[in-house]
Amino acid sequence: MNESIIKSKLSKSAVRIGAGSPTDAGLGFRGNSNHPDPIQLSGGIPDEPSLPILDFTEMLTKASKEQTEGSYNYGGWFGYDGLRENLSVRQSFLDRKKLTFNNFIIHNGSSGALENVCRTLLDPEDVVIVEKPSYSGTVRAIRGFNCDVVEVDMNENGIDITKLKTEIDNLKSSGKTIKFIYTIPDFHNPTGYLSSDDTKKQLCDIAQQEDLLIVEDATYSELYFDEEQPTPLYSIDNNERVIKMGTFSKIISTGIRVGWIQANEDLIKAFSQTRFDMGNSPLIQRALSLYISEGLLEPHVSVVRNIYKDKMEALTTNLIKNCDPYVEFYKPRGGFFLWVKIKGVTNKELTTEASKDGVMFPSGSLFYADRDETTWTEHVRMAYSRASIDRITEATVRLKSTFLRIVD
């Protein structure tokens, strides 16, 4: 079957979404390089040496032997009740709310959660407001439901509230239906920014005033580098406007593929009614529930926070040492990413030339809705989560050579 026939059979949404990048799929960005020793500063992948392989394998074995029937059956639409109960206890503490297992539905990572949210809430031609820039996978998911993505500028304190209000007024006056605002308030992807408490409060106020929902992507919320956890957006909301999506992908491993939606009980029921995948792995869910109940998760998260803080310090310190005056950035207080403004060269040129020197990271243009390489030329995103400190340091040395070669 030739390409033109295949294209004629595709849905409008498939055509609209278009091809994704390796970054969208969580894979490494290799560029056009044949370098024998590439250093990956691309995908948001956890630190491999810190993966709790022995502990989690023990929990898998225990779940398999002691809960055989449940572990080797379908998972169900809501997920394993034991894990939902563990989540309710844990998130009641973290989000400062009284929650029960009825406030949770388990999913195949936060990406599965997002797809369920979109399928339940969105009609064709609805509008979803996102931060500008934003996580590219979310933009593609929303467009997959034949909906429009509208971007609103953000800064170091989060989404620009004044511009958000103006955009909402403009959209409503033009007859558009806004279904929800999608935000990554804590250690944003790609910028690493942490929304201020004031921005979070104003966002909740706007949602109530304008009769909107907020979808909070809390993928990186637990990976804070300060002494105290940032105030969760979910905890500020007093009107049940916030739908929270969480995941174990970044604090444990992307490979276990367990995330959740946390929301009003009636919304959770609605999400279950639009789910057709028979649930994700009950064996993994039971092992994860044991991992939490046996007290293994909290010490692990505490350890990896320090690992990522040290890696962030290594990247920022060595970028200044080796690549000043070609780089400028806001130092993140958590998460996996550094949003770097570059000088004297476009991001397309830099990612191409850096890949030849064996340093891989995506262009910032990938994180804008139109992905226009001629407009969004100033930024690149660097992930410090996966590479070792020695490799991060080596990457900045290589980048110094890249800058000197192409700028001067």
Q: Report the distance separating Cα 106 and Cα 79, nearest Å.
A: 5
Q: How many domains would you assign to the chain?
A: 2
359-391 pLDDT, tens per residue? 999 999 999 999 999 999 999 999 999 999 999
Q: pTM (2 decimals)?
A: 0.93
Q: For 103-136, write each residue's pLDDT tens digit.
A: 999 999 999 999 999 999 999 999 999 999 999 9
Q: Do residues 223 and 311 both lie within one domain?
A: no
Sign of CA dihedral 130, 196, 155, 94: negative
Determine the pLDDT at residue 124: 96
Are 347 and 379 contacting, i.e. CB atoms less than 8 angstroms apart?
yes
User: In this structure, are 24 and 60 located in the same domain?
Assistant: no
CATH label of the domain that carries residue 245: 3.40.640.10
Domain range holding 169? 53-295
Residue-wise pLDDT for 77-112, tens only, equals 999 999 999 999 999 999 999 999 999 999 999 999
Amino acid at position 293, single letter: S
| H/E stretch holding 338 | strand 337-342
Confidence of residue 164 (pLDDT cuts 50, 70, 90): very high
Helix, strand, coil percentages (3-state) for the chain, rounded to 5, are 45, 15, 40
* Domain boundary residue, one of 258, 276, 295: 295
Last residue of one domain, picked from the residues 248, 268, 295: 295
- On whether both 22 and 125 belong to a single domain, the answer is no
The answer to whether 259 and 267 are in contact (CB under 8 A) is no
Domain boundary among 243, 272, 295: 295
Which two structure tokens, joined as six digits, stand for 67?
Answer: 């809960």
Q: Domain check: are 143 and 238 in the same one?
A: yes
- Is the pLDDT score of 7 beyond 60? yes
User: Same domain, yes or no, for 260 and 346?
Assistant: no
Task: State whether 303 and 387 are in the same domain.
Answer: yes
16 pLDDT more than 80: no
Residue 228 pLDDT greater than 80, yes or no:
yes
> Cβ(107)–Cβ(78) under 8 Å?
no
Q: What's 327's domain CATH number?
A: 3.90.1150.10
- Confidence band (pLDDT; 50, 70, 90) for 9? low
> Within this chain, do residues 15 and 137 fall inside the same structural domain, yes or no?
no
Instruction: Flag whether pLDDT at 263 surpasses 80.
Output: yes
**Nearest Cα to Cα of residue 106 among 254, 216, 258, 298:** 258
- Do 361 and 379 sit in the same domain of this protein? yes
- Determine the pLDDT at residue 74: 86
* pLDDT on residue 19: 59
Do 82 and 184 lie in one domain? The reply is: yes
